[in-house]
């Protein structure tokens, strides 16, 4: 009998008791190879000695001080580290406790920015379908995952959703990737114009989509065109890098590879690598200036902002990534992982697409490769895959996406950056074994 309010109320998961490197151990003594870092969280794996030492030292010195009274050395150091390594123009880091809080703070910063500069009529967010920005109400409102939104839709702030960049399903025959990206940017501009540009606050997007339709890597030029559209209408660009940021794709921020600088970047998971709950909003100077020269404060805040132990953990994680050259490793070993996945799964009759960058890969499962028809959601392929993989000792992150109103099946892989090539090969082999076992019994959806 459990008294923990688990998400799945009819099923109590195994009890995790230990973790080292890429492995987690449960109370029954079973070991699991962590190929997804939880939900793309563990950037350095489990039990990293340098991070533990930094956390212990901070706890001994000072565990907590409220930010309405004090700042701390460690929060200042972490902000300095993040601003130094962020895109040009970034001047401040606002610390929160996770991804949803980072998105909420970014949405409110964007709103307050326009209030401060005398454009209070800007009230409307535009985001993308098949996106995920968190489960709190503001983040859920901009999120475009139809299933997650459905029960709460009547109580969400209004947001307009445009198409995601999803070439596998939505790039038209004969359309080049570049033309596809430009079409999407044109559609965004049409949505802004239809709403009246003077009322639009911000466009919110994951630089690389994560937890809704698998890993969605943008086509070349898409974000540059999006940035131009936003600039033309005075609309802010908020890039949500809670999942794809902090080195996950081989550069510290995924937007570096797109050649764009957003007004606000949200980060979380890889920031603290799971050692502590922490997220941040990285803000460009004009956003902060508008507030400091206007009302003088940001009308927002939480009790655990800039928690010293969380900041110490994140600082240590980021220092290890820099010291050990892990971004370069993620780039080269990421290509290796992509190839290992294509070798193990590329020809599988139920694998529709394998896509990704760095240590961030998605496998999209289909009932039929030729028509790209997804499995019948009643088959619960993703749930069975998760269970099968765990039985094989593999932690991957399968979930149902949203394909044509249907639930597609996706697997997300996000191993810790320290993974060896041998471990990457094992990940691909175990995943192939799990996919094989689960899809061999799944049947095509019934035809109407």
- CA-based nearest residue to 242, from 43, 445, 376, 22: 43
- Least separation in angstroms between residue 242's CB and ligand PMP is 3
Least spacing, CB of residue 52 vs ligand PMP, in Å:
22
Q: What is the spatial distance between Cα 117 and Cα 126, in angstroms, rounded to a whole number? A: 20
CA distance 149 to 136: 11
Residue length, the chain? 448
Of all residues in this chain, which one has the CB nearest to ligand PMP in the complex? 99
User: What are the helix (H) ranges across 273-325?
Assistant: 285-293, 308-323
Beta bridge partners of 216: 209
Q: Characterize 51-90 residue by residue with b for buried, 16 or more Cβ atoms within 10 angstroms of its Cβ, and e for exposed.
A: beebbeebeeeeeeeebeeeebebbeebbebbeebbbeeb
- The least CB distance from residue 255 to ligand PMP, in Å, is 13
**Rounded to 5°, angle at Cα 344 from 339 and 347:** 100
Q: Which is nearer to ligand PMP, 242 or 365 (CB)?
A: 242
**Distance from C-alpha of 78 to C-alpha of 318, rounded to nearest angstrom:** 9
| Smallest distance from ligand PMP to CB 279, Å | 6
Nearer to ligand PMP, 278 or 309 (CB): 278
Write down the least CB distance from residue 210 to ligand PMP, Å.
Answer: 4
Nearer to ligand PMP, 256 or 368 (CB): 256
* Residue 131 C-beta: closest distance to ligand PMP, Å: 8
Closest CA to 331 of 362, 363, 357: 357
Q: Residue 296: which H helix or E strand, with range?
A: none
Nearest approach, Cβ of residue 277 and ligand PMP (Å): 8
| Residue 201 vs 367, nearer CB to ligand PMP | 201
In angstroms, the CA 408 to CA 194 distance is 31
**Binding residues for ligand PMP (CB under 6 A):** 39, 98-100, 103, 132-134, 206, 210-211, 240, 242-243, 268
* 259 φψ region: left (φ > 0), alpha (ψ -120 to 50), beta (else): left
Comparison of 216 and 315: residue with beta carbon closer to ligand PMP: 216
* Beta carbon nearer to ligand PMP, 21 or 272: 272
Nearer to ligand PMP, 279 or 408 (CB): 279
């Amino acid at each position: 009998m459990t008294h923990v309010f688990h998400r799945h109320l009819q099923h109590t998961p195994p009890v995790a008791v230990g973790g080292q490197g890429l492995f987690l151990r449960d109370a029954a003594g079973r070991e699991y190879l962590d190929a997804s870092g939880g939900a793309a969280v563990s950037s350095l794996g489990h039990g990293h000695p340098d991070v533990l030492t930094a956390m212990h030292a901070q706890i001994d010195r000072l565990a907590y001080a409220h930010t309405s009274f004090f700042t701390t050395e460690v929060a200042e150091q972490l902000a300095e580290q993040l601003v130094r390594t962020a895109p040009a123009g970034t001047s401040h880091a606002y610390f929160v406790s996770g991804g949803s809080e980072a998105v909420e703070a970014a949405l409110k910063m964007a709103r307050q920015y326009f209030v401060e500069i005398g454009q209070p009529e800007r009230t409307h967010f535009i985001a993308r379908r098949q996106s995920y920005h968190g489960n709190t109400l503001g983040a859920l409102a901009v999120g475009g995952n139809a299933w997650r939104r459905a029960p709460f839709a009547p109580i969400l702030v209004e947001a307009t959703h445009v198409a995601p960049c999803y070439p596998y399903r939505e790039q038209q025959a004969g359309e080049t990737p570049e033309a596809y990206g430009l079409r999407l940017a044109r559609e965004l501009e049409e949505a802004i114009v239809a709403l009246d540009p003077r009322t639009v606050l911000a466009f919110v997007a994951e630089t690389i989509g994560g937890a809704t339709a698998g890993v969605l890597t943008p086509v070349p030029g898409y974000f540059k065109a999006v940035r131009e559209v936003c600039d033309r209408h005075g609309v802010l660009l908020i890039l949500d890098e809670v999942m794809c940021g902090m080195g996950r794709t081989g550069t510290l921020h995924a937007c570096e590879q797109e050649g764009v600088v957003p007004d606000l970047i949200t980060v979380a998971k890889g920031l603290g690598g799971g050692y502590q709950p922490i997220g941040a909003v990285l803000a460009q100077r004009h956003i902060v200036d508008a507030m400091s020269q206007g009302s003088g404060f940001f009308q927002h805040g939480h009790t655990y902002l800039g928690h010293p132990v969380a900041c110490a953990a994140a600082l240590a994680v980021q220092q290890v990534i820099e010291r050990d050259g892990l971004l370069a490793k993620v780039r080269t070993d990421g290509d290796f992982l992509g190839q290992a996945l294509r070798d193990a799964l590329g020809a599988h009759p139920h694998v529709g697409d394998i896509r990704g960058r760095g240590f961030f890969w998605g496998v999209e499962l289909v009932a039929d490769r030729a028509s790209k028809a997804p499995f019948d959601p009643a088959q619960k392929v993703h749930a069975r895959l998760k269970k099968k993989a765990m039985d094989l000792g593999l932690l991957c992150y399968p979930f149902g996406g949203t394909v044509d109103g249907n639930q597609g099946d996706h697997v997300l892989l996000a191993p810790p950056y320290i993974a060896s090539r041998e471990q990457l090969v094992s990940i691909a082999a175990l995943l192939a074994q799990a996919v094989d076992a689960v899809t061999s019994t799944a049947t095509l959806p019934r035809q109407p």
